[in-house]
Amino acid sequence: MKLTIRGAQSRDLPGIKRMIDVYIAEDYYSLAELEALLRDDRYLCYVVTDADRGDALVSYFIAFLSTLDRALPMLHVSEKPEKLLAYPDDTLVGVYKTSSTEKEYQGLGICSSFIRDLEPVLRERGARLILATALRPLGREVPMRRIFERNGFDAIAEIPRPWVDMYLYCPYCQRHHCICDAVFYMKKLEDTEGEHGGE
Ligand SMILES: CC(C)(COP(=O)(O)OP(=O)(O)OC[C@H]1O[C@@H](n2cnc3c(N)ncnc32)[C@H](O)[C@@H]1OP(=O)(O)O)[C@@H](O)C(=O)NCCC(=O)NCCS
Least confident of 19-23, 124-128, 191-195: 191-195
Which of 96, 114, 147 maximizes ligand 1 atoms within 8 Å of its Cβ, making it the mutation to test the pocket? Answer: 147
Per CATH, which fold does 3-195 belong to?
Aminopeptidase (3.40.630)
What average pLDDT score do residues 72-97 get? 96
Q: What percent of the chain has pLDDT over 90?
A: 93
pLDDT of the residue at 196: 47
pLDDT the model gives residue 190? 75
Instruction: Give me the sheet containing 181-188, strands edge to edge.
Output: 3-7, 43-50, 56-67, 92-101, 129-136, 181-188, 154-159
Task: Determine the number of helices (DSSP H) and then strands (DSSP E) in the chain.
Answer: 6, 7
Which residue puts its alpha carbon closest to atom 20 of ligand 1? 143
Each residue of 4-35: pLDDT tens digit?
999 999 999 999 999 999 999 989 999 999 99
CA-nearest residue for atom 22, ligand 1, is: 143
The mean pLDDT of the chain is 94
pLDDT in the model for residue 191: 52
Q: Measuring from atom 4 of ligand 1, which residue has the nearest CA?
A: 111
- pLDDT of 194 reads 46
136-147 residue pLDDT tens: 999 899 999 999
Ranking 48-52, 130-134, 164-168 by mean pLDDT, the lowest is: 164-168
Range 86-92 average pLDDT: 97
Which pLDDT score, from 0 to 100, does residue 199 have?
Answer: 40
Q: If phi over 0 gives left and psi between -120 and 50 gives alpha, with beta otherwise, what is residue 153?
A: beta
The CA–CA distances, whole Å, from 134 to 5, 17, 87, 185 equal 23, 19, 21, 7
